[in-house]
Amino acid sequence: MNSIAIITKKKNKEELTKEEIAFMINGYVKGDIPDYQMSAFLMAIVCNDMTERETIDLTDIMIQSGERIDLSSIDGKVIDKHSTGGIGDKTTIVLAPLVASCGVKVAKMSGRGLGVTGGTIDKLESIAGFEVETTKDQFVEQVNKIGVSIISQTGNVAPADKKIYALRDVTGTTESIPLIASSIMSKKIASGADAIILDVKVGAGALMKNMEDARALAKRMIAIGAHYNKCVKCVLTNMEEPLGYAVGNGIEIMECIDTLKGNGPEDLKQLVLTLGSLMVSIAKDCSKEEAYQELEENLNNGKGYEKFEELIEAQHGDIHQIEVDPCVSIKSKKAGFITHIDAYQIGDIVKRLGAGRMHKDDIIDHGVGMTLAVKVGDFVLENEELVKVHFDSQDINIQEILDCFTIEQDVKEKSPLILEIIE
């Protein structure tokens, strides 16, 4: 076997054997296959897809590249959640402690940003001192003690995915159903949870741009879960506009705190409660309606925020020190209804400000970002604030930012946030 022949085979839309896929993945992890050949292999997959069997094989090879975490010593069912990534998607940071406040164990391994979408770990690192790296024993001990832990994917869990994930981020190979499915599910299966809830984003600000692709991705991940006898449920959610108002690492943490104190944006609350009701109903064997009510109560009575404080303290973060840069206000040039907010463009601008990576070894600027003042459907006056831009030393293009907001005289019907639940 040789890498050029395998790349050519996939380029020609032929189905690969498990041995051929393993040759490429394991060779890249060992350093025998260079970045440029792996990039070509990934691009061939992006262009020509993989069959369900190929995707399951790729997932299994990713899992076998490292260790599988045994969470059997955690008392109770362990429910995991993962998002395919969206603009302003800080859901896990609110959801994990809120679900844990209901007595459900949440052992969460999260990722960094991919493409224009932010990553949970990058966001948590904007909290001074917060430790995202830990040992497996410490991870399990913390979940048993306080019910929740959020850490970075460890080097020993699906290390093949970790290396390829970083390469995909900088080679334009992020938007691919088999690559997304195998990346997510290899980590989730290896991480040892009993059940997995997946938030599949759909729209301009997501990796999946339409419902057809989103359903295909959801069904592919459910099939992978079934292969490993794991309960997997997918919630398809709208990502035509940013989730919440904050986009950027530190300012998203601030919005999470507001939400856990009962003051956050309605769309973020709705998503957290929808995903959380699935997690709690599985773990506690109750109805989704009962689970939703308990979560809503804990969001309003402060128990969710108290659990969040426990989480931050357990991982040595200082909640009073969150990195956020100074901001400037950008205002509307005319009056009218906000009919569209370009989530992808906002994510791209924030990434270029320093919130994401252009190269694998780039250092994140946790303080940059945008805080929107409007959502789709709002009416604005001329010279009314549209957005605050948080930045340090970079230049900003005001017109480029204004172009993210479409303002018209007639209001348009707004699409729902929760599009479909596939169980």
Q: What string of DSSP letters covers 101-167?
A: TTT-BEEEEE---BTTB--HHHHHTTBTT------HHHHHHHHHHHSEEEEEPPTTSSHHHHHHHHH
pLDDT (tens digit per residue) in 64-80 = 999 888 888 998 888 99
Residue 135 has pLDDT above 90, yes or no: no
Rounded to whole angstroms, the Cα distance separating 351 from 17 reads: 37
Q: In the chain, what are the helix, strand and coil shares in percent, each to the nearest 5?
A: 45, 15, 40
Write the DSSP symbol of residue 361: T
Q: Which CATH code fits 3-48?
A: 1.20.970.10
Q: How confident is the model at residue 207 (pLDDT cuts 50, 70, 90)?
A: confident
Boundaries of every domain in the chain: 3-48, 79-314, 327-408
pLDDT, average across residues 189-213: 91
Mean pLDDT of 28-42: 97
Distance (Å, rounded) from C-alpha 148 to C-alpha 163?
26
Q: Which amino acid is at 105?
A: K
Instruction: Tell whether the model's pLDDT for residue 333 goes beyond 80.
Output: yes
Task: Name the CA radius of gyration of the chain, rounded.
Answer: 21
Model pLDDT, residue 360: 65
**Those residues with Cβ within 8 angstroms of residue 407's Cβ, 6 or more apart along the chain or in another chain:** 332, 334, 335, 336, 337, 338, 339, 380
pLDDT at 328 over 80: yes
Out of 72-86, 89-103, 348-362, 375-389, which region has the weakest mean confidence (pLDDT)?
Answer: 348-362
Secondary structure tally for the chain: helices H, strands E: 16, 13
pLDDT digits (tens, 9 = 90+) for 308-321: 999 999 999 999 99
Return the CATH fold of 327-408.
Aldehyde Oxidoreductase; domain 3 (3.90.1170)
Question: Could you give the residue ranges of the DSSP H alpha helices within 261-365?
Answer: 266-284, 288-300, 303-314, 343-350
Residue 394 pLDDT greater than 90, yes or no = no
- DSSP states of 296-318 as a string? HHHHHSSHHHHHHHHHHHHTT--
- This prediction has a pTM of 0.89
Residue 406 pLDDT grade (very low, low, confident, very high; cuts 50, 70, 90): very high
pLDDT grade for 269, boundaries at 50, 70 and 90: very high
pLDDT > 90? residue 154 = no
Residue among 80, 104, 98, 119 at smallest CA distance from 221: 80
Kindly give, in sequence order, each residue whose CB lies less than 8 Å from that of residue 301, ignoring residues fewer than 6 positions away: none
Average pLDDT, rounded, for the chain: 93
- Beta bridge partner(s), residue 202: 208, 238
Give the catalytic positions in this structure: 82, 161, 168, 183, 187
Question: Percent of the chain at pLDDT above 70?
Answer: 99
Q: Is 422 exposed, middle or buried (0-12, 13-18, 19+ CB in 10 A)?
A: middle
Banded model confidence at residue 239, pLDDT cuts 50, 70, 90: very high
Task: Of 155-159, 209-213, 380-384, give the lowest mean pLDDT range.
Answer: 155-159
Higher pLDDT, 175 or 244: 244
Confidence of residue 114 (pLDDT cuts 50, 70, 90): low
What is the domain class of 79-314 according to CATH? alpha beta
Q: List the Cα angle 417/94/139 in 5-degree steps.
A: 130
DSSP 3-state assignment of 201?
Answer: strand
* Closest among 251, 245, 252, 234 to 267, alpha carbons compared: 245
Q: What percent of the chain has pLDDT over 90?
A: 80
